[in-house]
Structure 1
Amino acid sequence: MLTSPPPRTTSQAKTTSVIATISVLFFLSGFTALLYQVAWQRMLGLFSGSDVRSVTIIIASYLAGLGLGNLIGGWYSDRFSNRQCVRIYGACNLGIAAFAVLSRFLFYDWLFLRWRYLAESSILMLIIVFFSLLIPTSLMGLSLPLLSKAVSRHAKESASRIGLLYGVNTLGSGIGTFLSGWYIIGTIGYEKTVYFGAAISALVGAIALICAERFTNQNYSRETQDTNLLEHQSSFFKQWCWLVFLSGFSAISLEIIWFRVLDIALQSNAYTYAHLLTFILISNAFGSLIGAKAIKFIKQPKKAFLLIQGMVAAYAAISIWAIGSYWQDYPDLRADIGYINPSNLSFAVFFKYLVVPIVMMVIPNLLLGFYFPLVQKAVQVHDDRIGRRVGLILIANILGNTAGSLLTGLVLLQYLGTANSLRLLVILGLGFVIAIRPNWKKARFTTTLAVILVATIVFLPNNHRLWAALHGVKPGTYFIVAEDSTGVAAIAEEKGKGKLFASGQVQANFPYLHLHALLGTVPALLHPHPRQIMIIGLGSGGTPHTLGANPLTEQVQVVELMGAELPVLQKYAQTPIGKPLKALFQDPRYQFVVGDGRRELTLADRKFDIIEADAIQPWRSRAGMLYSQEFFQEVRSHLADGGMFVEWDVGRAAEQTFRNVFPYVTRVKLSKDLSVLFGGDRPVIFDKNSLLTKLKNPEVISFLNQAEVNLEALRRDIQAAQVQMYSHAQNGQPQAVNTDLFPRAEYYLNHSQNNQK
């Protein structure tokens, strides 16, 4: 006979209602946390630069602040009543909201516009970034230890509830990342995105303060425990902290590798980072939510934890190699420029943006999320230490994350490359499995996993083979690759032509493309005395090389964000097809700088006759920093008397912003696929006869012959060039479309009409 379950008591119903309310609030806290991270990372990136070193410093500082909040929250939460914990959580959100409202002034108006020269020192930059993020990140870090104590006054029930809280918060982060990356930022810009987050944080804070009255105001006394037992449990807890630290190190290292591999595979744009992070966070969230329900069935948490680490390492390495092999067999899947056309969504787009991230990242991140409530089940044994242990476990994980981001991002990838860094993480995974100390004959699953890990360590391909596969290059094809902390650059040859890849994107061909010869030669000869030149972007070397065609030029400073391009080009210079590069690198007038071009320009102590941005397509991630009104203003302030800025015309938004800043603009259509913008404080006269005369100069001819430039094609295109001239006086000053805090062209799916030529 079926019987109905016993009715819930009033106390149980109230507890369920309270936990549900707190879960919704904590979901919104997670949602806003990622809004802030994405927006603040961009604002601080203008101050610190967008190179890998600077981005790593910002992320590490963000994590360090969260860790400090975890530590403080864990230490003090056990001293407060349920009601006090929720009140403090509410106050923290009000504090975060207040900081968010002021953050534009702090990060952009103050740090970037007034104190940007302080970023010259990496150590000083680290200190400034850390302290500028300290207040909001610490307040965020306080939240989980406080709420864990608020909803779990007894250790027995705490693991599942803490897992639930962690899961809903991470789920909020994932959804916040997805919506901010694909819609919010592209629609309203970074500044308004922060204000939107501030409104949500203020709402969460106010509701939390009101809801706090539903919690008891009882302080729980400390338990008395046997001294020997406490010492044993303390040692046991320290072991868990070390395990979680190593797991955090491994998890963030894998995340860095996933992003590097998928950056190559997807040929990323402005939407890619948030899209991929969404998979990681939502998978993590569901893993934690599943773990919160499943932990009651797990009798050996430590063994399960160690097995998870081994499985994650094995799966990550094998899946990356499997996808690389598939890419090599079907190279057409990556035969695009990373541009998503919403009116023509091909199978390749769905495969790259859905199938590949799901296969590579979902399973390992489900497992990584699953272990959080598992750890809580193992360590939560005292009612009066719930918050402290949550905080210490979180800070152990964050310290591992911070160490992993710094060591893997700046050291391992620099000296070992992706393949060997991945191999090192598999070795760490094997160490986790060995730590189980199983009976290898009886523990079949554990033994099988260990064998798979050993085989992966032995047979995982080296860096050259891995990147050849991920670039879709067939075995036996000429292929060279260089990798460092800044990225991956490679050159492949096919049918007697070389092709340069930077982060998986095809940048140029060898011999130099004719359009690059036009971009360099024309401005070099158009300016009457271009003694000092700066160019942002090395690429294949074609534009910087031909930019030195004028015999009057004394120095050409070439700034390249991706340091890996230099060694791969220098190596290719020794080949017959790459021979012009040899002349480039032997020319004493050229100075090559690896770094963020905008920051190098900002910090430059001199002015230039020509500044050129041979930049990336405007829809690429962070491209907006080189197409904004503020960047053009910075360029203008660094032009010498009679100087000019040169940039290829990439679309309506960039051109209109260009014309907003420069009083005089000349637009020259040099070929079917290339129009160039020249801007300055004086009219830039495109004198065809003068250019053609200079092309007869023996020194110019000799120089361009070394670069293997087609002189006849140059003369023909100059003669046929179509010229349009604009000025503020005659045509008015158009409204700027792209700004630092609202790069509309970068988020082209939200503003497609602004990118049409």
Structure 2
Amino acid sequence: MTGRVLGLERTLLALFVASGFAGLIYQAIWSHYLGLTLGHAAYAQTLVLGIFMGGMALGAWLVSRRGANWKRLVFAYAVVEIIIGVAGLLFHPIFVAYTGFSLEVVYPALGEGGAVRAWQWGSAALLIAPQSILLGMTFPLMSGGYLRVAPEADGEILGGLYFSNSLGAAFGALAATFLLLPAVGMPGTVAVAGALNLLVGVVAWMVSRRADLRPVPISVAPAPIRTEAEAAEDKDFLKFILLAAMITGASSFVYEIGWVRMLNQALGTTIHSFELMLAAFILGLAFGGLWIRRRSARIKDALAYAGFAQLWMGVAALVSLPIFAQSFRWVGGLMAWLPKTDDGYSLFSFGSALISLAVMFPAAFFAGMTLPLFTMALLRRGAGESSIGKVYAANTLGAILGVALAVHLLIPAMGLHLAVTLAALVDIALGFVILKKYADDVPAKPYFAGAAAALLVLPLSLVLGRASPEALASGVFRTGSSQLQEGSQVRFLRDGKTATVAVYQQGNAATIATNGKPDAAMQLDLAVPPSDDEITMLMLGAMPLAAHPNPERIAIIGWGSGLSTHTVLGSGRPLQVDSIEIERAMYDGAMLFGSRVERAYRDPRSRLHIDDARTFFSTGSRRYDVIVSEPSNPWVSGVASLFTRQFYAFLGNHLKDDGILVQWIHTYELSDPLLMTMLAALSEEYPYVELYRPNFGDLVLLASRSPIPSLVYPAAEGTPLQRELARVGLANGADFGVYRLGSKAVIDNLVRLSGAEVHDDFHPTVSLQAPRARFRGDSAIWLHSLAKSGLPVLEVTDNWRVPRLSSGMTTRGNDDMVRLPVVANRVAEAMRSGETSAISTDYQALAAQVTVLRQLSGQPVAAADVDNWLVAATNIAEHSLAHLALEDQGGMWLEPAWFAAEGQPEEIAAVMAAYQATASRDPQAMLEAGRHALELLGVERPLATREHMLVIAMLGAHGSGDPAEAVRLDRELGRIVPVLPSSDYGFIRAYLLAWADREPTAE
């Protein structure tokens, strides 16, 4: 190169790094944006990628047709970058206006069916196609302009630009997810990309005065006069190169999709793991281009190099499969070695990146060599700079073909392993065709070495490249175990369009899992005690029948095991039940639950829709009496968008005026702030919310824009539905009330306490943070702390009703919501009678405290025993005060025969008075007695007792209508009650302080 060209090189390559960085931000963010209107189903994902890649192909083709006549290609490149930047800055407001127009005007006018879908797809194409076309023009414009300056450095320029653009793209994918989205959300991220394009365009404009040296385009090689036969041969050669570019583009994307789908099962289906995989793939492409850049001067026969690159790309793809099969052990090792902290998650992400590189990088490296080599071969044959755009367009069209084939044909028909294997064989075959028919000088040793490698690796890959079904279903990224529990049998394993679904069984228990994550588990035999999941699924199915007076039309989001749909259909009242499931393999796999879900499959009222929830509801003016939303966990990529305020408002538009939304959400592997941001979204859109907790890990919420009626037991005595409900502890109407935890006021107070922002489509907080919470093993415990609190926090603040055994509630079950009132009644009976056998079996320590308290309370407590009495009384109060109704407190705390009031020490009398005031639910007495007791107790007395007294006083203040007094009590007397991490009462105090900060309208 000349000195002047060398002076431009760094600037041009830096520009292309920045351009690639912005380009991948667009691809990532557009997928998020269009997923909000098209949904996340396989065909929608294919459409988004197809529009993006198709637009780029068209842009490259336009440059190939017209660019040869343009005098200033770098200047044209600068203009294109500026236009892309302006469009990027305007994208978010245009998208918001477009979605509002679609929802408010277009969908109601078009009604149901294909017209709405045609609008969705067509308008989505118009949103991103112009920028995609412009993005496709950038590579051929920059390459052509650069080549006009230095035609002799074809390989160095092509490889360098391909490397720099791909390198920028890899870092763009990572920056979008790990830096920009958390900091500025989707609007800010797409604006950053737009600003970067503007900067690139302005700098390129300035550089173009030096770069656009030649007034007319040139061919890289001298163009001698060609005979008719030679011209026909050149034409055939061009067709073959374009076909080869298309084939390698298709195979590369079959690899990419196959690898991502496979690694999802080892690394977890999160937004982080996807971007790490994407970056690994693009880095391979980048360094393949760098290899060509550094060796281009020594490459005499570019097509021979391309043939060997194709051959070794296929071989490397075959080798990737055994590497993937070992990845489960590596992930298991990471889970075992790394601490469950934020730093541990960062190291896990780094390890995930290394595993992704091990699987993807080698084949992607050879794939990155092919495009520059094909272009070099054409340029050296005198094809001219238009060949750059043609090859780029053909390769991009091949990518579209590869995506469509992989998602819709190869993976569903052959599975992931064979789909990647077939693509590898195509690459190997293409390499041999190139070497045999089109390359001029092929060395014998490398040729036969490649053939031998292919023949050796293929059978090894077929045998060793298959991970065991037990590994694929293990969910190692959660459990740390690379195999299922011993004795488990995988009965179903299928690679669907969007996910790999497995059904495995251990004994009588069966589980259905998506990409290794269990979605539902149940006992197949009704005679066996139920799993924890079963009460949740049955409650989700029963709530539409219990809460709505006339549930004729019901929609259920998420098939899971099919048990919720089966439950709904246990009643004759629904006329139609629409179940929306994104993955057909889930529906097929759940058939193995057999008679447990029989009605879901056989009842004619049951209608299955394989679709994304957003798309399904958008393509029709359907309105339902009840919508049940039980999607997968929100840390799964794409699922968190079903827990945003926009989606809740969207569902509200598809509910009738008195319609009810039944929402499932989990508390395991999730932090309290993340749970609150989703609950805040629900509460913002619905003025009436009721909260139920069927087990420690699950919540069921009822939400409506109209008052929610009281629940009515949904099944007639002796019916199959009644027997199924009774088996999980829902035998009568009282049982549903046992699991009620609170109202909208409780949710709003927790949101206020946490300071959580409302979960929003354009700020995907949960998608970004939930994978980290899952890795740490977090649990959202605030609601559980309220449920199990030994003092009547919910009863005083939210009019919570204490469940009574005398109401007929079922006493079976190990969950706190059932266990605590049962234990409270047993403790009360033991205190009345002195007989502890009913509690000693399961609660020996508690039984011992009953004995101590009765023994010490029969006479004045000696000074040496005051602390012992306080500890025992506090323990007994913790298990009885809040979980016994006022009507059941007689002989326990009210008029207790076991307590001799005369002559008791002042502290004992004061504490007893506070507990008696609480038992009688007398707010003013609670305030006065709790405050007095706390003033008497010194810092040397048991902390748990002091905590009780302070909270009793604060509850009394709230119950008396004086929240300011609760704040004063905590500020002044709370100084002698330190907050310990091991105690729930620090949270309870914070909850009561937040309750005091409510707006007056919330009273």
TM > 0.5: yes
Residue of structure 2 in register with 1:626 after alignment? 642
Alignment of 1:201-350 (within 5 A): 201-220=197-216, 224-228=223-227, 229-324=230-325, 327=328, 332=332, 342=342, 344-345=344-345
**Partner of 2:168 in structure 1?**
172
Structure 1 position 603, deviation (Å) = 3.0
Query: What 5-or-longer segments of structure 2 have no aligned partner?
Result: 437-441, 475-482, 524-530, 667-674, 783-1003
Please list, as runs of the form range in 1=range in 2, the aligned pairs for 1:116-155 lying within 5 A after superposition.
117=107, 120=114, 125-153=120-148, 154-155=150-151
> 1:79 maps to what in 2?
69
Residue equivalent to 1:742: 763
Q: CA deviation at 1:103?
A: 2.0
Q: Does 1:471 align with 2:470?
A: no
State the alpha-carbon separation in 2 of the partners of residues 205 and 376 from structure 1.
Answer: 25
Residues 442 and 721 of structure 1: is their aligned pair in 2 closer, same or farther, counting only changes over 3 Å?
closer
* Structure 1 position 595 matched with structure 2 position 611: yes
Distance in structure 1 (CA, Å) of the matches to 2:747 and 2:428: 70
Q: Does the 8 A contact of 1:265 with 1:334 survive in 2?
A: no
2:540 corresponds to which residue?
A: 519
Alignment partner, residue 28 of structure 1: 18
Secondary structure of the residue aligned to 1:620 is coil
- Offset of residue 13 of structure 1: 3.4
- The answer as to whether partners of 2:322 and 2:461 remain within 8 angstroms in 1 is no
Distance 1:280 1:684 in 2: 51
User: Partners in 1 of 2:15 and 2:392 — Cα distance?
Assistant: 20
Residue 157 of structure 1 corresponds to 153
**CA separation in 1, counterparts of 2:385 and 2:447?**
36
Matches within 5 A, 1:291-440: 291-324=292-325, 327=328, 332=332, 342=342, 344-345=344-345, 351=351, 353-381=352-380, 386-435=384-433, 436-437=435-436
Secondary structure of 2:767's counterpart equals coil
- Going from structure 1 to structure 2, the CA distance change for 1:719 and 1:706 (only over 3 Å counts) comes to closer
Partner of 2:899: none
Q: Which amino acid aligns with 1:414?
A: P
User: Is it true that 1:676 corresponds to 2:695 in the alignment?
Assistant: no
Amino acid at match of 1:394: Y
**Contact 1:524–1:530 (Cα < 8 Å) also in 2:** yes
SS in 1 for 2:199: helix
Which TM-score applies when normalising by structure 2? 0.67
Secondary structure of residue in 2 paired with 1:666: strand
Of 552, 555, 558 in structure 2, the residue corresponding to residue 537 of structure 1 is 558
Aligned partner letter, 1:563: R
Corresponding letter in the other structure for 1:358: L
Kindly provide the amino acid, as one letter, of the partner of residue 580 in structure 1: R
Q: Which amino acid aligns with 1:494?
A: Q
Aligned residue type for 1:168? S
After superposition, the C-alpha distances for 1:693-742 in whole angstroms (9 at most, x for unaligned) are x55x226x412546894246887863532432236999899896112222
Mapping of residues 706-717 of structure 1, within 5 Å? 709-711=727-729
What is the alpha-carbon distance in structure 2 between the residues aligned to residue 17 and residue 184 of structure 1?
33
CA distance in 2, matches of 1:206, 1:79: 23
What CA distance in whole angstroms lies between the structure 2 residues aligned with 1:733 and 1:124? 38
Kindly state the Cα deviation for residue 341 of structure 1 after the two structures are TM-superposed.
5.3
Q: In the alignment, residue 73 of structure 2 is paired with which amino acid?
A: C
Q: Which moved more, 1:717-726 or 1:703-712?
A: 703-712
Matches of 1:374 and 1:730 in 2, distance apart? 61
Equivalent-residue separation in structure 2 for 1:158 and 1:495 (angstroms): 65
Cα drift, residue 169 of structure 1: 0.9
Q: CA deviation at 1:382?
A: 6.5
The alpha-carbon distance between structure 1 residues 37 and 216, as it changes in their structure 2 partners (threshold 3 A), is: closer
Shift of 1:642: 2.1
> CA 1:485–1:78 in structure 2 vs 1: closer, same or farther (change >3 Å)?
same
Is the Cα contact below 8 Å between 2:665 and 2:700 reproduced in 1?
yes
682, 685, 692: which one aligns with 1:658: 682
**Distance change >3 Å, CA 673–CA 239, structure 1 → 2:** closer
Distance in structure 1 (CA, Å) of the matches to 2:726 and 2:505:
18
Deviation at 1:611, TM superposition (A): 1.0
Structure 1's 148 and 331: CA in aligned 2 closer, same or farther, altered over 3 A? closer
Question: Unpaired segments of 5 or more residues in structure 1?
Answer: 1-10
TM-superposed CA distance for 1:188, in Å, is 1.2
Partner secondary structure for residue 540 of structure 1: coil
Q: Confirm whether residue 554 of structure 1 aligns to residue 566 of structure 2.
A: no
Instruction: Tell me the C-alpha RMSD between the 2 structures.
Output: 3.4
Out of 692, 695, 702, the residue aligned to residue 720 of structure 2 is 702
Q: Distance in 2 between matches of 1:371 and 1:24?
A: 23
Q: Give, in angstroms, the shift of residue 221 of structure 1.
A: 6.4
Q: Report the residue type matching 1:141 in the other structure.
A: G
CA distance in 2, matches of 1:330, 1:273: 18
Match of 2:89 in 1: 101
Q: Give the match for residue 604 of structure 1.
A: 620
Q: Does 1:52 align with 2:42?
A: yes
Paired letter, 2:142: L
SS at match of 2:520: strand
Structure 2 distance, partners of 1:371, 1:589, is 55
Distance in 2 (CA, whole Å) between partners of 1:132 and 1:63 is 14
CA pair 530-324 structure 1, distance change in 2 beyond 3 A: same
Matched residue SS, 1:218: coil
Instruction: Assess, with a 3 A threshold, how the Cα gap between structure 1 residues 582 and 521 changes in structure 2: closer, same or farther.
Output: same
> 2-side partners of 1:709 and 1:562: how far apart?
30
Q: 1:591 & 1:334 partners in 2: Cα distance?
A: 43
Distance in 1 (alpha carbons) for counterparts of 2:334 and 2:44: 29
1:729, 1:239 → 2: CA distance? 64
Hey, what's the Cα distance between the residues in 1 that align with 2:676 and 2:288? 45
Aligned with 2:451 (options 447, 458, 469): 447
User: Which structure would you say has the larger RCO, counting Cα contacts within 8 Å and 6 or more residues apart?
Assistant: 1
SS in 2 for 1:506: strand
1:314–1:456 contact (8 Å) kept in structure 2:
no
Determine if contact 1:430/1:453 at 8 Å carries over to the other structure. Answer: no
SS at match of 1:698: coil
> Which amino acid in the other structure matches residue 169 of structure 1?
N
Q: How has the CA–CA distance of structure 1 residues 456 and 74 changed in structure 2, closer, same or farther, with 3 Å as cutoff?
A: farther
Larger Rg: 2
Q: Is the 8 A contact 1:654 1:738 kept in 2?
A: yes
- Verify: 1:184 aligned to 2:180, yes or no: yes
- Alignment of 1:70 onto 2:80: no
Counterpart AA for 1:146: L
How far apart, in 1, do the equivalents of 2:748 and 2:160 lie? 64
Match for 1:426: what amino acid?
A
Query: Which whole-Å CA distance do the structure 1 matches of 2:646 and 2:587 have between them?
Result: 29
Amino acid in structure 2 at the alignment position of 1:284: L
How big is the shift at 1:677?
1.9
Deviation at 1:312, TM superposition (A): 2.1
Distance 2:289 2:412 in 1: 33
